Amino acid sequence: MASLRTIRRRITSVKNTQQITRAMKMIAAARLKKAQDNLMSSRPYSTKMKDTTESLVARTDTGTHPLLERREKRRAVLLVISSDRGLCGAFNANIFREAVRFLKAQETETSLVLIGRKAQEFFKRREFSIKKEYKDIYNDFSFENAVEVGTDITGDYEKGEIDSVFMIYNYFESILSQNTTLSTLLPIGSEKKETDDDTTATESEKESASVDFICEPSQLEILNVLLPRFINTQIYRALLESMAGEYSARMTAMDAATENAAELIESLTLTYNKARQASITKELIEVVSGADAMQG
């Protein structure tokens, strides 16, 4: 059995760790509230923009704008959104597992655009082509960060350097659930066409499909403004989803770690008390045995 001093040191160490995990849980909970508010306020706008853009694109010739052009898929890009920090359970591991599965299933040349230090650390140790990395993007985070990523991606697509762009991130379902999501960014409208089913379309969708738009000053000028902003908005929302999911995952993980520490402290305290009782009993036996020997 370990010595009393060793057990006391372990109890102290676990208590210190418990204080850290409890503090990290509280910090994550505070940051989650702000991230969740930002996400919930952005969802209606990004959803409506997605519906409007896809409805407009469905009535537009793919040759009208470079971001609508569908080319032979020879070079693809996968945008991977992870966190900068760990200690958030399987939040990053789920992203990496799905990303690796997607990359291995691709028949075309696929490179990576990485957001988050954890993604950079993971893929640098593996034989995948990394096109670009964005570091410290969550520091002083704003819509301009999404614009920077979106501008680079759309620029490469318009130049013909890439033929399709996919994005993988954690969708914030609830505090206890974050779902790994894979979506198509470019070409715009391709994802909807691949997944649409006219037999299951709702009445509102059918009604929307029957509406025609009058574009002023011109369709091209509207698309020049709308499509890049649409891409930036989708990236911005994905980043917000990821941030909210990260904080919720960390809060849950730190809560579990705090409870595990409490159970370990209880177990070590019981072991310590048993060892202390055994030590006292042994000392009493030695004293009594010594007294009997002197009397004898």
Q: How do strand 109-115 and strand 75-81 relate by DSSP bridges?
A: parallel
Q: What are phi and psi of 22, to 5 degrees?
A: -65, -40
Tokens of 288: 């009594």
Cβ burial of 266 (10 Å; 0-12, 13-18, 19+) is exposed
In sequence order, the β-bridge partners of residue 124 are: none
User: In the chain, which ranges are E strands?
Assistant: 75-81, 109-115, 130-134, 164-174, 177-186
Distance, CA of 54 to CA of 77 (rounded, Å): 21
For tokens 């709702």, the residue is: 202
Mark whether 215 is an active-site residue.
no
For tokens 């070409």, the residue is: 187
Catalytic residue among 88, 162, 223, 243: 88
| Angle CA 213–227–75, to nearest 5 | 130
Measured over the CA atoms of residue 16, residue 17, residue 19 and residue 24, the dihedral's sign is: positive
The catalytic site residues sit at 88
